[in-house]
Amino acid sequence: MSALALYKQKRSLTQKYSRWGWFFVLPASLLIFILSFYPMLSAFILSLQSGFASNMHFTGVRNYLRLFQDSTFLASVANVFIYLIIQVPIMLILALILASILNSEKLKFRGFFRTLVFLPCATALVSSAMIFKSFFAVDGIVNFFLTHLGIVSEPVSWLSHPVWAKCIIILVITWRWTGYNTIFYLAGFQNIDTSVYEAARIDGASSVQQFFRLTIPLLAPVILLTSIMSTNGTLQLFDEVRNLTGGGPGTSTITISQYIYNLSFVYNPQFGYAAAVSYSILIMVALLSFIQMKIGDKS
């Protein structure tokens, strides 16, 4: 067989495989476009309009300019960044410590404890929020113990206090999502060759030195991944706040996602402005993810 015939045969096989490849990829691609990209494009077009239902009219970037004058939106952004700055580092540090403990060969019943750590993540969001709401109610178990121990003279209205309500939301988020991040770190630990630690011990490195000079650098990609995911999740926080405080008292705990919900279904419907607020989350997520990836690449 000549070289030209071999080339033609190889080319025909390549084209055949390419066609079959597109055949398998096309259904998934269509679903992604219909369920993701088309709604995103529709939301962006909607964000450039104002009005209601059939009375929608084009207003350009007016909805986006309104964001900077909206005190409720600015309060929601401030609240979300408070949760982000306080909760995410605490959660990731706890997850890293727990993963280190659960990875130890000396720990007995490791499977049981790993399940126990991950269990809060498997709890329904609404259920976990309602449990903590009952704990911190005026007549809840927390006030019961505090008053009987003499720590407080009268029951505290935790969820009606602007600062304490934020603290409880941070507690709930940390309780629920720490186990989720622990699993990622645990998988990262198990991919580290034990000979690295053996060599460090032979060189006289202590456990603390091994943790900071070996474990942290080797887990850097996983830490970057969990940081980005946790940041994105916090910026889109909704369920916990909605079920614990409803955004109150006032707007002291409201989040951006809850404000979008209120604009769409609680207040007089303002779908165009709600779409603009939702795109603000997209912009913040993109910017913070870009910054984190740049910092992660340098480290």
Q: What is d(CA 29, CA 35) in angstroms, rounded to the nearest whole number? A: 10
Considering the domain architecture, whether residues 91 and 213 belong to the same structural domain is answered as yes
Considering the domain architecture, whether residues 41 and 76 belong to the same structural domain is answered as no
Q: What is d(CA 258, CA 239) in angstroms, rounded to the nearest whole number? A: 8
64, 285 Cβ separation under 8 angstroms: no
- Interhelix angle 162-190/220-235, nearest 10 degrees: 150
Considering the domain architecture, whether residues 123 and 177 belong to the same structural domain is answered as yes
Least confident among 1-15, 59-73, 155-169, 220-234:
1-15
Residue 206 lies in a domain: yes
129, 244 Cβ separation under 8 angstroms: yes
Q: What is d(CA 175, CA 43) in angstroms, rounded to the nearest whole number? A: 33
Domain span at residue 89 reads 66-298
Residue 54 lies in a domain: no
Mean pLDDT calculated for residue range 171-179:
94
Per the structure, the count of domains in the chain is 2
Considering the domain architecture, whether residues 171 and 247 belong to the same structural domain is answered as yes
The tokens describing 157, both together, are 């209205």
Q: Taking CA 270 as the corner, what is the angle to CA 269 and CA 274, rounded to the nearest 5 degrees?
A: 120
Considering the domain architecture, whether residues 84 and 213 belong to the same structural domain is answered as yes
Which residue, chain included where needed, has tokens 């009952």?
134
Q: pLDDT value at position 190?
A: 87
Residue 61 lies in a domain: no
Residue 162 lies in a domain: yes
Q: pLDDT value at position 191?
A: 87
Q: pLDDT value at position 292?
A: 87
What b/e readout covers 227-256, taking b as 16+ CB neighbours within 10 angstroms? bbbbbeebbbbebbbbbbbebeeebbbbbb
List, for residues 16-59, the tens digit of each pLDDT value: 667 777 778 888 889 988 988 898 999 999 999 987 766 788 88
The pTM of the full predicted model, rounded to 2 decimals, is 0.86
H, E, C per residue of the chain: CCHHHHHHHHHHHHHHHHHHHHHHHHHHHHHHHHHHHHHHHHHHHHHCEECCHHHCEECCCHHHHHHCCCHHHHHHHHHHHHHHHHHHHHHHHHHHHHHHHHCCCCCCCHHHHHHHHHHHHHCCHHHHHHHHHHHCCCCCHHHHHHHHCCCCCCCCCHHHCHHHHHHHHHHHHHHHHHHHHHHHHHHHHHCCCHHHHHHHHHCCCCHHHHHHHHHHHHCHHHHHHHHHHHHHHHHCCCHHHHHHCCCCCCCCCCCHHHHHHHHHHHCCCCHHHHHHHHHHHHHHHHHHHHHHHHHHHHC
Considering the domain architecture, whether residues 258 and 111 belong to the same structural domain is answered as yes
Q: What is the average pLDDT score of the chain? A: 87
CB atoms within 10 A of CB 268: 6
Considering the domain architecture, whether residues 121 and 43 belong to the same structural domain is answered as no
Confidence label for 6 from pLDDT (cuts 50, 70 and 90): low
Q: What is d(CA 69, CA 190) in angstroms, rounded to the nearest whole number? A: 50
Considering the domain architecture, whether residues 22 and 73 belong to the same structural domain is answered as no
Residue 222 lies in a domain: yes
Taking alpha carbons only, the member of 230, 298, 235, 233 closest to residue 94 is 230
Considering the domain architecture, whether residues 142 and 282 belong to the same structural domain is answered as yes
Considering the domain architecture, whether residues 21 and 116 belong to the same structural domain is answered as no
Residue 59 lies in a domain: no
Instruction: Return phi, psi of residue 246, to 5°.
Output: 65, 15
Q: pLDDT value at position 268?
A: 81
State yes or no: cis peptide before 249, omega within 30 of 0: yes
Q: What is d(CA 77, CA 235) in angstroms, rounded to the nearest whole number? A: 8
Considering the domain architecture, whether residues 161 and 211 belong to the same structural domain is answered as yes
Considering the domain architecture, whether residues 8 and 113 belong to the same structural domain is answered as no
Q: What is the CATH number of the domain that holds 178?
A: 1.10.3720.10
